[in-house]
A and B are shown apart, each in its own frame.
Chain A
Amino acid sequence: MANVQLVILLTSVALVVIGLYSAIFIDNIIKKIIGISFIEEGVNLFIVAIGYKAGGVVPILMPGMDTSWFASNAAYPLPFGLVLTSIVIGASTLAVMLALVMVLYRRYGTLSTKVMLADTSKKEEYDE
């Protein structure tokens, strides 16, 4: 049986790398944003995997559980709490980016980053 935590940590880093690759090299802006969402997902998965405890229990005190047994066997709750916050942060930034893309599409009629986000100083000279 493979080490669950190690497998999941590797998956999370793979997600980060895939997302980073797409955010740097793919030209289509919506795919860039999808890649960014993968980076965020990977980081969240990484932090949750830190909180995992092999052979542990969910950090919820069920009726009838002994508190000292619970304290030494439950998974670590701090990373879980942090991730709950960071999921919402990721979704919010994503929504703002998509809104900007929708408005800019009306102006340029394309999703290509090279056209949409070209160096603005060059663009101004071109307009003149």
Chain B
Amino acid sequence: MSNTTIRNLLAGILTAIFSATLFDAIFHISDMIYPGVSFIYNTLGTQIAPNMVTVVIFDFRAYDTLGESIILLTAGLVVLLIFGRGLLGDKR
């Protein structure tokens, strides 16, 4: 039992340190934000379609959107698999 107590204590300390670091970083980051390539999207995208977000997800980064839809499909298939459809061949 004492083993789990020590482990919990260690995890607690690590989580506390991590959250403190995270909050500290947030105070710094709000004046370090740099638009970079997003600004280019706002300049270029107006020639393609009026909504910049759709320009990003369906033109510049359409391949990510393909990945997203594949994930949705995979999740559906894996859920079906977990409920017992299409488990491995002859074993069932």
Contacts and interface: CB of A to CB of B under 8 A. Distances in A.
Interface of A: 3, 5-6, 9-10, 13, 16-17, 20-21, 24-25, 50-51, 59-62, 67, 70-71, 74, 76-82, 84-85, 88-89, 92-93, 95-96, 99-100, 103
**Chain A binding surface SS class:** helix
Contacts of A103: 82-83
A26 to B, nearest CB: 12
Nearest to A50: B33
A5 B8 CA distance: 34
30 contacts: A6-B26, A20-B15, A24-B15, A50-B33, A51-B38, A59-B51, A60-B50, A60-B53, A61-B46, A61-B52, A70-B42, A74-B52, A76-B35, A77-B41, A77-B42, A77-B45, A77-B52, A77-B56, A78-B38, A80-B53, A81-B57, A81-B61, A81-B64, A84-B68, A85-B65, A85-B67, A85-B68, A93-B75, A103-B82, A103-B83
B71 A78 contact: no
Interface residues of B, number: 43
Contact of A13 (B23, B33, B61, B75): B23
A110 B19 CA distance: 31
A5 B30 contact: yes
Given A10-B26, A77-B53, A92-B72, 15 more contacts: A6-B27, A59-B51, A60-B53, A61-B51, A61-B52, A62-B50, A70-B46, A76-B39, A77-B41, A77-B52, A81-B60, A84-B57, A85-B67, A92-B74, A95-B79
B86 to A, nearest CB: 14
B38 A96 contact: no
